[in-house]
Chain A
Amino acid sequence: MDRAPETAASAPARTGALRHIVSSYRSEIAIALAIVVLELALGIFVPNALTMGNFSDIAQATAPLIIMAIGVLLVVMTGGIDLSVGSVFSLVGMVTGLVMDSGFSSTIATICGLVVGVVFGAINGFLVTFVGLAPFVVTLITYAVAGSLAFIVTNGHSLPINDQGYWLLNGGHIIPGMPNFVLFCIILLIVVEFLLRRVVFGRWIYAVGSSPGAARLLGIPVHLVRFSVYVISGLLAAFASVLTVSYISNAEGTAGAAMMLQAIAAVVIGGASLFGGTGSAIGALLGALMITVIQNGVNLIGVNSFWQGSVTGLVILIAVLIDRVSKARR
């Protein structure tokens, strides 16, 4: 490997930091620009697209996806995959609704829902890490099991939420002027971005995905890292679910069916490699936003829904190509 451009630099610690920040967020910046361009182009056809009301709709629609995608991101970064998030999302909603329906308080119901997510995450983590099964297979199994449990727990009925105050979880304002779903996304973004950049455990996530062999020999607790990311992924899918239940005051057995692929797509659009070792929380957020913006745009323009999948596919292709080009020029 002699293609080393080893030009001399006196203080590589300082000179690189800013350039590093810009270059390490290169694909994120590219996607953000793509979203802006897409939105502006949409505004030419449908002026209403550029109203606060529509932005608020998009934010609300994308919030659960962002939360779920960030969980999936952590798993993908270790070189794994979590196919179970959509089903866990459905199941958690049903459990939360059922517990509330049985007369418990909404706080207890929410906690029960989150526990279900953590339990499924732990099952995934246990089978992948300690039994040593392939992540794809393990989460395919839990995807199927959680999906069927979502019907079993209420015999397939959807459940209306009667607690009048429960919508506050999603739509209330802990900070005046900012609805909670936005607040949660921002907090999560900051926490995970801090975890990945500034906490050693976050660097371990990168290391495990980058080279499991090297990470192991370095003394990184690879098993702990792998197990943890699946638990976090389950927890975040569950949180996305209770937020949605709070929003629509309704729990449905199929609520998360479409979300698993969207979450994985968001992670990939956000610049993470499915082979692990790369990715960022802000990328996953932007990826999720991109998907929602496309759906919103297609609906606003009035494209026949049959075409929606093709348009989404093409735009994802473009996003990935932009990422490719922005990374190739270095």
Chain B
Amino acid sequence: MDPTSSGQDSSEGATAFLLNARGITKSFGVTRVLRGMDFAVAAGEVHAFLGGNGAGKSTLLKIVAGILDADGGTLRYKGFDVDDAAGRMARDQSLAVVHQELAVIPHLSIAENIALPRYRHGSSLFNRAAAQRAAVDALSLIDKDFAAQSTDRLVATLSLHERQMMEIARALHSGAEILLLDEPTTNLTGQEAERLFTVLRRLVADARIGVVFVSHRMQEIRQVADVCTIIRDGQSAVHRQPVQSLSDAEIIDMMGQSIAAHDALAAAPAPSGAPSLDLRVSAEALSISGLGPEVAVGPGQILGLAGAPAGPQALIDQLIGEKRRAGIEIIHGGRPRIDRTPHEAVTRGVGFVSGDRANRGILSTLPIIDNMVASRRIAERRRLVRADEAREAAGLLAALRIKARSVWDLPSTLSGGTQQKLIIARWLNLRPQMLVLEEPTRGVDVGTKRDIYTLIRAMAEAGTTIVWWSTEQTELLELCDRILAFAPDGRATALLDRASLDEEALAAATGLAA
């Protein structure tokens, strides 16, 4: 077959789209997820792809990436239909994807992870020196310091945020003409995100590549995207409109999920205000020393942790009994808190919601009910599965407004954001003494964010001390009673009180852009 004639897209005329999806439909069982979705990406643009949870965004991205097959519609890459061999070849050669769930191979080195995907044949010899050069070149695109380190390190030893950088670097350096970035900035600091945007703009301008950019952060959408497509109920509510022509409110409105509250933060309940307790003498207060600033938080208060992962991670690990770090001392309820295992911590009243939902949050082969009541069973030392657990779980689902067909379904039938609500809800009504949250709003849409804020607030009001790490400084500023800020090297730099909370102070203390 001659791809230039039969497969060529003639209807588009002069506007050659790198990627052109028309009328895509896709159903799972009886559920129609995509109902004739249009999506086109031209060369030389950053294209924001927006949509609420459950709108069909991930499904379309998977179809575009070739992970799923569409039921109907046409999909063309550089004009070649994907039903033909030429179209599939165009896709394989021109598309690079950074998935939300990172696709890295932990047991291989950085260099191997970056270079391996370029080998098309298993029989090729692996050139280690070339791989290392490629890795350094790729990493230099977004972080010179990272590139200067050894590329022989195993990916398993990297932090989540380093893995994210590596994966982005791999995609940027792959020579792809279409870059598909699914929430690439979630694990990045402000500076790194800034560098990423610079590289993207340069690649778009110089190499005329097309970038699809998925994000929930309005600020960065404005910052980097030229046009946007908004998906709603499996169709394009907005197709290829310049971002400048739409207001934030219009965009949020069209995402369709939060009609009542345009701004999640505005709808969230306000902080409880300063409790009248004297923290130093309160029997239930949590105090942390050895980090620099002395921290004390009372029951019902929210302590925010801000900054790059190193510092908050170490503190969280110790709070939940995962790993102890020399120098940090925690006094809780008047006594030193030493939990040697997460089991000990949980039975002694510490709840935890991990930021790594796929690996450390959801129990994927167990039904929703087990996922919801898992913590209850341990905290209340239940021996038998109780008959009323189904009602308990259904009640929680209703309270959270989670739409599940049944509590016996697997969590994979829920969208990512809903799963997140689910694992936070494990602790609802349980009134743990302390609840530790690791980026609970990462990768969820605005509507779900609002729900999560409400949950957190409600749990604080029930008397739980909340420790909350987030890389989104705005939410910390809005909801926390005090914020402990960490520098990128893991040092705690400042403890900001409600009175002194503002973006500049936080930015200064964390070394990150607001």
A and B touch in the complex (CB under 8 A): yes
Q: Which residue from B29, B53, B378, B419 sits with its C-beta under 8 Å from A220? A: B378
Which residues of chain A come closer than 8 Å to B375, judged between CB atoms?
Answer: 218-219
Q: Mark A1-27, 1 if CB is under 8 A from B, else 0.
A: 111111111011111110110011000
Give the residues from 262 to 319 in chain B that come closer than 8 angstroms, CB to CB, to chain A: none
Flag if B418 contacts A4 (CB, 8 Å): yes
Q: Which of A7, A199, A206, A214 contacts B403 (CB 8 A)?
A: A7
Residue contact A6 to B378, C-beta cutoff 8 Å: no
A11 cross-chain contacts in B, Cβ below 8 A: 394
Partner of A12, one of B356, B362, B364, B394: B394
| Contact indicator B370/A1 (Cβ below 8 Å) | no
Chain B residues whose C-beta falls within 8 Å of the C-beta of A220 in the assembled complex: 343, 374, 378
Does B415 sit at the interface, judged by CB under 8 A?
yes
Question: When chains A and B are docked, how far (Å) is the Cα of A153 from the Cα of B362?
Answer: 48
User: Could you say which of B54-62, B141-149, B220-228, B467-475 contacts chain A?
Assistant: B54-62
Q: Chain A residues near B360 (CB, 8 Å)?
A: 211, 213-214, 216-217
Q: Is B30 an interface residue (CB 8 A)?
A: yes
Q: Does B140 contact A (CB under 8 A)?
A: no
In the assembled complex, A203 has its CB within 8 A of some CB on chain B: yes
**Considering the chains assembled together, what is the distance between the CA atoms of A12 and B390 in angstroms?**
8
Interface: A117 (CB within 8 A): no
B341: which A residues are within 8 A, CB to CB? 216, 221
Stretch of B70-78, B198-206, B345-353, B499-507 that contacts chain A = B345-353
Contacts known (A4-B54, A6-B418); A214 close to B405, Cβ less than 8 A: no
* In the complex, chain A residues whose CB is within 8 Å of the CB of B419: 1
Nearest-neighbour CB distance to chain A for B198, whole angstroms, equals: 30
Q: Which chain B residue lies CB-closest to A207?
A: B363
Question: Most chain-B Cβ atoms within 10 A of its Cβ — which of A15, A23, A200, A213?
Answer: A200
Query: Is A216 within 8 A of B365, CB to CB?
Result: no
User: B446 → chain A, closest Cβ, in Å?
Assistant: 15
Minimal beta-carbon separation of A123 from chain B (angstroms): 23
Interface string of A201-229 (1 = CB under 8 A from B): 11100110111011111111110000000
Q: Do the beta carbons of A218 and B378 come within 8 Å of each other?
A: yes
Q: Which residues of chain B are within 8 angstroms of A17 by Cβ–Cβ distance?
A: 390, 408
Partner of A211, one of B29, B362, B414, B416: B362
A84 interfacial by beta-carbon distance below 8 Å: no
> Roughly how many angstroms separate A160 CA and B112 CA in the complex, as a whole number?
61
A21, closest chain B residue (CB): B408
Contact between A277 and B28, CB atoms less than 8 A apart: no
B488, CB-defined interface residue at 8 Å: no
- Given known pairs A9-B403, A214-B360, the reply for A3 and B385 (CB within 8 Å) is no
Verify B359–A213 contact, CB threshold 8 A.
Answer: yes
Query: Which residues 341-397 of B have a CB within 8 angstroms of A?
Result: 341-343, 345-347, 352, 354, 356, 359-367, 370, 374-375, 377-379, 382-385, 390-391, 393-395, 397
A12 touches B407 (CB 8 A): yes
How far is A2 from B414 in the complex, measured between Cα atoms in Å?
A: 8
**Size bracket, chain B contacts:** 35 or more
Number of A-B contacts (CB under 8 A): 173
Q: Does B406 contact A (CB under 8 A)?
A: yes
Q: Say yes or no for B412: interface residue by CB 8 A criterion.
A: yes
Q: Judge if B409 is at the interface, Cβ distance under 8 Å.
A: yes
Are B414 and A4 closer than 8 Å at their CB atoms? Answer: yes
User: Is residue B413 within 8 Å, beta carbon to beta carbon, of the partner chain?
Assistant: yes
- With A24-B408, A218-B378 as known contacts, state yes or no: A2 contacts B57, CB within 8 Å: yes
Which residues of chain A are within 8 angstroms of B352 by Cβ–Cβ distance?
A: 217
* Residues of chain B within 8 A of A213, CB atoms compared: 354, 356, 359-360
B31 within 8 A of A: yes
Which residue on B lies nearest to A8, using beta carbons? B403
Q: B406 to A12, Cβ gap below 8 A?
A: yes
**How far is A211 from B412 in the complex, measured between Cα atoms in Å?**
14
Complex CA–CA separation, A273 to B365 (angstroms): 10
Residues of B with C-beta under 8 A to A276: 365
5 residue pairs, one from A and one from B, having the closest CB atoms: A16-B406, A219-B346, A20-B408, A13-B394, A5-B31
Could you list 15 A-B pairs, sorted by A, with CB under 8 Å?
Answer: A1-B415, A3-B31, A5-B28, A16-B409, A200-B377, A202-B385, A209-B365, A211-B361, A211-B364, A213-B359, A217-B352, A218-B374, A219-B343, A277-B363, A277-B365
- Beyond A217-B320, A217-B352, list 6 extra A-B contacts (CB 8 Å): A4-B54, A11-B394, A16-B409, A210-B365, A217-B354, A219-B375
